[in-house]
Amino acid sequence: MIPLVRVTPDSHDVIIDLLYATADNFTGKPVYAAGAGCFLNAEAEGLLCRTLDLVRPLGLKLKIFDAFRPSEAQWVLWNHTPDPGFLADPRRGSPHSMGAAIDLTLVDGESGVELDMGTAFDEFTPRSHHGNLDISVAAQRNRHLLMGVMTSAGWDFYRNEWWHYQLFNARANHPVLSDSVLGPDRMMP
């Protein structure tokens, strides 16, 4: 079994809001089972810990929308919206399906309110691209802050999605994992 590390609010002092376990995502229906856990491979979890060390002194927290995404879930997303600008073709493999990617935002550490990033998570439009100038200056600053802490911690970014970060060379260094890797903690219904 490939080791995946469970990320919880207690273990990592993060907010977990796995939108694919709800109908509040672009498919309009849950993709993961209710109560799905948040997991990363060990290398990605190490970078997450480094990121947390960078955001805490700023009075911020991380809110995680997605992390490990079994290959079966990637197929569900792709079959709904086969858009290679925003979703990895599951035949090629998604870094999410390797436990090597995370979708997240910054929140105020006291109130838990999300910082304005100019678009919602998974808004599949050019406004979600890094460097987009069609969003407020405050949202641009917040995106740069998120990119700064994530890249300083060692993550690579995906230019089309302000929320997506992954390990460098994930496809070369990590296998695609199916739902079965989680055993009793299975994410898919």
pLDDT tens by residue, 73-109: 999 999 999 999 999 999 999 999 999 999 999 999 9
Please tell me whether residue 62 adopts helix, strand or coil conformation: strand
Report how far residue 50's alpha carbon sits from residue 103's, in angstroms, rounded to the nearest whole number: 16
The whole-number pLDDT of residue 188 equals: 59
In the chain, domain spans = 4-180
pLDDT for 140 equals 98
| Secondary structure (3-state) at 61 | strand
Question: pTM to 2 decimals?
Answer: 0.95
**Architecture of domain 4-180 in this structure:** 2-Layer Sandwich (3.30)
CA–CA gap between residue 100 and residue 147 (Å, rounded): 17
How far is C-alpha 150 from the chain's CA centre?
12
Strands 156-157, 60-66: pairing is unpaired
**pLDDT at residue number 187:** 63
CA-wise closest residue to 96 among 64, 128, 55? 64
Secondary structure element (H or E) that encloses residue 41, with its range: strand 38-41
Q: How confident is the model at residue 189 (pLDDT cuts 50, 70, 90)?
A: low
Residues with Cβ within 8 Å of 11's Cβ and at least 6 positions away in sequence, in order, are: none
Residues 181 and 189: their CA atoms lie apart, in Å, by 14
Tell me, yes or no, if 161 is annotated catalytic: yes
Q: What are phi and psi of 177, to 5 degrees?
A: -115, 145
What mean pLDDT is predicted for residues 62-71? 96
Residue-wise pLDDT tens digits, 14-63: 999 999 999 999 999 999 987 889 999 999 999 999 999 999 999 999 99
Asked whether 19 and 68 are in contact (CB, 8 A), the reply is: no
